[in-house]
Amino acid sequence: MKEYRKEILTTDDIAYMMDPSVLKLDTTLEDVEAMVELCKKYGCGSCFCWPCYYPQLVELLKGTNTKFGTSLAFPSGQEATSTKVAMAEYFMTMDPAENDMVMNVGWLKSGRYDLVLQDIQAVREATKGTSLKVIIEAMLLTDDEIRKACELVIEGGADYVKTGTGFSQAPSTVHHVKVIKDEVGDRIKIKVAGGVRNLDTLLKMYKVGACRFGIGCGSAEKILKEAEDRGGKFDLKDVVIDESEL
């Protein structure tokens, strides 16, 4: 997706950067339908759910400006590469705009970088023509491991580094975004997911370098309502980040 860096964000800008999701273990089709209504109301960029609901989600999104995104090897990332490729090939039959895959963090932490890279490259090959994001689960990594993960994601040909799945107990933080941005510069884009539950956190992460936000549907609605209630326009000069957050 096309991303924009702005000094002043509106509610519409924030909605466009949001990728609402319904990915709880008890998600229903009714939850998917409610998410699509939220996306239609605010103009969210893309949205995500479990694969069993993809056919319905594709139909529900027809005629909207919200793109269909897939969650690939989610949330563990520890499927065999051949399984990930098969999933990607199946998902591609439904014409997604976005594919978010989970890195095999176990391989990363054990130094099996060749396998991590091959995994990403294989999925990249299977998802040509779409935006590929690789979830590195930054809250499970040291800063050095985050940096190494970023380099592998870039070498693998992905379009975004994504901080997390939202399934880890610890959240994504401003510090994680700062470490990633310092490492990648403008070579790749940054998506945050996991723990973005209020507008101030989103604005701080955007200021540091994130440009997309994967947020559970309930939190997404809360943030967008908060943005409206606070006037719908936010100057980044007014966004204060404490040194301890970096």
Active-site residue set: 100, 162, 191
Burial of residue 90 (number of CB atoms within 10 Å: 0-12, 13-18, 19+) = middle
> Is 160 in contact with 124 (CB distance < 8 Å)?
no
Distance CA 115, CA 143 (A): 21
Distance CA 245, CA 68 (A): 33
- Helix (H) or strand (E) segment spanning residue 56: helix 54-61
Distance CA 179, CA 119 (A): 23
Give the sign of the dihedral formed by CA 120, CA 210, CA 14, CA 166.
positive
Phi, psi of 171 (to 5 degrees): -90, 165
- Dihedral angle over CA of 204, 209, 211, 215, nearest 10: -50
- Half-sphere exposure (Cβ direction) of 113: Cα atoms closer than 13 Å: 13
